[in-house]
């Protein structure tokens, strides 16, 4: 079907990044676009073809497959494709076929490159890497959105002062915002109560409106910490309501500023290292969500954020081991406490359970086991108290199966490698992420090296591990290229853990086995795989960029939940993302799906 200049222009105004172009540029772009009609089942291009440009779907659906024929994406209205190959070497990196009769707009290569060179919005759109983070920010340069309490305590103007004082006492706060609906009328503080109500001996029924500061000075969430500091010092006040669009959305107090400066990973580690009980530690680990907010808002990369948060779990574990030994006495034989799962990989976020085990010196006797049973229970119970909940699969040192002498652990790994049944694959996947936390580290050194060598030498085991790594797939489907959960509690969301991060974690584990790499951290494994030539440089860049995007999107989602007063989780509604963000996320999923297909066909390297 021929498309008029006006039809092309109107359509491009609905597609990012072209919607952000100046009108004269958009008008000129429309003149240079070619329209291509493709019948159902016919190819748009084949792998290795020289691409005529970037394609945008005006009508119909297009199926993208990799070199092995595996479907990596179904694309519909407004989706674009072909950019990865065009911007790399001009050759198609995939196959594209019309799934239904389709009408496509084609942006010629010279036009695309001109737009990228001349317009930042286009350059940013086609740059699939994450921008460099700015690094840690100070209190003065942090956004108020990070500093403020997001659910301020409020009361109506007619509330008696006595009742307002009781609310402040019970909630351990020093002020109440006086509101009418969402509108801020004033603010009442403890100083107002003591300086006016008490000092002037006002009647018992005095309403809070009589002592409040009416129409207080406010700031917005987009202001920064220095604005708060300057207003507080200039006006001699300690509470500033935060309003947006005329509505009260938060409050910043001097206590919030002090708390912000005190909440950092080093300070939490210090306090945990000197705690005297799990209950005392739990008060400290309760500050991790706020730390997560500050670390992400401060511009730290995801691998730094998760490393710092994991350091807190490591410290809590070592402190509990110390407290256990104080209670139970010295251990009868050397032991080693190890973490697996996200803690083992140093990738904990705002939501984590515990996965751990104990390796005991081979001199351990049957009588000694009672000590380690008690030690495991003390530490695991303590971690649960601190918010690291019991593993649903019972992968914990409290399970006798995972509290054994080194010789038994060696038999475990040898058995899994020799007979890689489904349970063996699952257990090996978990246990290959082991990382020593506390105790005699030398108990693990030879075992790890020997296990990696044996695993790499057994092609059948490696094949089973590869098969196991493909069980978690990226959420690609028909709806704008992204498939959400269809039913249940998390309907219409993306599981950024099991369908986003985990597929990369599984692939990186396979590479570490193939290269006998000792690293446990996913990003470190991918970089080591590239250095060991298990993964090609271009494949490494693609998968690292995809992983970084998904991992940082996951953290940003958790931060949004924390800031809104909710518990962090891994379930992201795509509706909260812009078209720009959805497009990049979909591309990241396509990269992972392509690499899974390559690994599944015995081609571990992406060229």
Fold (topology level) of 5-127? Jelly Rolls (2.60.120)
Whole-number Å distance between alpha carbons of 158 and 178: 9
Q: List, as one string, the DSSP characters of 231-275.
A: HHHHHT-SEEEEEETTEEEEEEEHHHHHHHHH-SHHHHHHHHHT-
Confidence of residue 605 (pLDDT cuts 50, 70, 90): very low
Tell me what percent of the residues of the chain surpass a pLDDT of 90: 49
Give the Cβ contact number of residue 114 at 10 Å: 16
- For residues 234 and 302, the model is more confident at 302
For the residues 89-94, what does the mean pLDDT come to?
A: 87
Residue 132 DSSP one-character state: P
Kindly report the backbone phi and psi dihedral angles of residue 136, in degrees, each rounded to the nearest multiple of 5, phi listed first.
-55, 140
Judge whether 292 and 300 are in contact, CB under 8 Å. no
Most confident of 81-95, 451-465, 559-573: 559-573
Residue 329, Ramachandran bin (φ over 0: left; ψ between -120 and 50: alpha; else beta):
left
The per-residue pLDDT for 64 is 85
Whole-number Å distance between alpha carbons of 16 and 210: 53
The per-residue pLDDT for 466 is 87
pTM above 0.85, yes or no: no
Is the model's pLDDT at 131 over the cut of 90? Answer: no
For the chain, give percent helix, strand, coil, nearest 5. Answer: 50, 15, 35
Beta bridge partners of 104: 36, 57
The per-residue pLDDT for 130 is 54
| Domain ranges for the chain | 5-127, 144-261, 287-457, 465-601
The per-residue pLDDT for 255 is 84
pLDDT tens digits, 507-556: 999 888 888 888 889 998 998 888 888 888 888 888 999 999 999 999 99
The per-residue pLDDT for 464 is 84
Fold match, 144-261 / 287-457: no
Which of 445-454's residues contact partners 24+ apart within 8 Å by CB, and which partners?
A: 447/359, 447/406, 447/409, 447/410, 447/413, 448/518, 449/518, 450/410, 451/410, 451/413, 451/417, 452/512, 452/513, 452/516, 452/517, 452/518, 453/516, 454/413, 454/414, 454/417
Domain 287-457 in CATH: superfamily?
A: Beta Polymerase, domain 2 (3.30.460.10)
Judge whether 139 and 243 are in contact, CB under 8 Å. no
pLDDT tens digits, 384-441: 999 999 998 899 999 999 999 999 999 999 999 888 888 888 888 888 889 999 999 9
Whole-number Å distance between alpha carbons of 261 and 237: 19
* Residues 6+ away with beta carbon under 8 Å from 154: 176, 177, 178, 179, 248
Judge whether 219 and 242 are in contact, CB under 8 Å. yes
Confidence of residue 338 (pLDDT cuts 50, 70, 90): very high
- Would you state the CATH architecture of domain 144-261? Roll (3.10)
DSSP helix/strand/coil, 451: helix
Lowest mean pLDDT across 127-136, 285-294, 546-555: 127-136
Q: How far apart are the first and last CA of the chain?
A: 37
Whole-number Å distance between alpha carbons of 317 and 57: 53
Record the tokens describing residue 598, joined without a space.
């390559």
Whole-number Å distance between alpha carbons of 159 and 152: 17
pLDDT tens digits, 467-476: 888 888 898 8
């Amino acid at each position: 079907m021929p498309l008029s200049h006006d039809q092309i222009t109107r359509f491009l105004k609905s597609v990012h990044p072209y919607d952000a172009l100046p009108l004269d540029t958009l008008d000129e772009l429309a003149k240079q676009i070619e329209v291509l009609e493709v019948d159902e089942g016919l190819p748009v291009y084949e792998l290795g073809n020289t691409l005529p440009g970037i394609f945008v779907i005006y009508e119909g659906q297009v199926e993208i497959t990799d070199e092995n024929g595996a479907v990596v994406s179904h694309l519909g209205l407004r989706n674009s494709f072909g950019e990865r190959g065009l911007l790399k070497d001009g050759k198609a990196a995939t196959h594209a076929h019309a799934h239904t009769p389709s009408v496509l707009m084609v942006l010629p290569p010279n036009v695309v490159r001109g737009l990228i060179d001349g317009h930042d919005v286009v350059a940013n759109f086609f740059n699939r890497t994450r921008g460099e983070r700015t690094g840690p920010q100070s209190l003065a340069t942090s956004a108020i959105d990070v500093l403020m309490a997001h659910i301020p305590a409020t009361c109506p103007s007619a509330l008696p002062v006595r009742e307002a004082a009781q609310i402040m006492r019970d909630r351990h706060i020093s002020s109440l915002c006086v509101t009418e609906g969402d509108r801020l009328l004033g603010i009442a503080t403890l100083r107002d109560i003591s300086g006016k109500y008490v000092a002037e001996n006002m009647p018992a029924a005095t309403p809070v409106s009589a002592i409040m500061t009416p129409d207080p000075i406010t700031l917005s969430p987009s202001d920064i910490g220095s604005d708060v500091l300057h207003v507080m010092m200039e006006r001699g006040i300690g509470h500033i309501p935060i309003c947006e669009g005329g509505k009260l959305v938060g409050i910043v107090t001097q206590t919030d500023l002090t708390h912000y400066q005190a909440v950092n990973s080093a300070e939490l580690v210090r306090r945990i290292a000197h705690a005297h009980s799990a209950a005392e530690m739990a008060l400290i680990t309760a500050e991790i969500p706020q730390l997560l907010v500050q670390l992400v808002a401060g511009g730290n990369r995801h691998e730094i954020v998760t490393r710092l948060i994991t350091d807190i779990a490591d410290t809590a574990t070592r402190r509990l081991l110390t407290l256990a030994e104080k209670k139970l006495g010295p251990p009868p034989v050397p032991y080693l406490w190890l973490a697996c799962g996200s803690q083992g990989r140093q990738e904990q976020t705002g939501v984590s359970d515990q996965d751990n085990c104990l390796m005991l010196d081979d001199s351990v006797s049957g009588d000694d086991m009672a000590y380690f049973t008690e030690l495991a229970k003390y530490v695991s119970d303590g971690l649960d108290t601190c918010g690291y909940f019991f593993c649903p699969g019972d992968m914990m040192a409290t399970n006798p199966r995972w509290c054994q002498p080194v010789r038994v652990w060696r038999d475990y790994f040898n058995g899994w490698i020799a007979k890689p049944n489904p349970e063996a694959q699952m257990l090996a996947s978990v246990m290959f992420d082991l990382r020593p936390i506390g105790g005699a580290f030398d108990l693990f050194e030879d075992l790890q090296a020997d296990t990696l060598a044996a695993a790499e030498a057994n092609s059948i085991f490696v094949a089973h591990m590869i098969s196991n790594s493909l069980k978690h797939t990226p959420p690609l489907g028909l709806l704008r290229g992204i498939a959400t959960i269809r039913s249940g509690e998390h309907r219409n969301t993306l599981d950024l853990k099991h369908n986003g991060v985990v597929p990369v974690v599984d692939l990186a584990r396979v590479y570490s086995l193939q290269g006998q790499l000792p690293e446990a951290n996913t990003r470190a494994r991918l970089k080591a795989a590239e250095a060991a030539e298990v993964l090609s440089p271009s494949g490494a860049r693609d998968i690292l960029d995809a992983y970084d995007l998904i991992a940082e999107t996951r953290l940003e989602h958790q931060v949004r939940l924390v800031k809104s007063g909710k518990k962090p989780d891994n379930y992201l509604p795509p509706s909260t993302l812009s078209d720009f963000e959805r497009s990049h996320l979909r591309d990241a999923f396509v990269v992972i799906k392509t690499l899974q297909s390559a690994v599944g066909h015995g081609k571990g390297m992406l060229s």
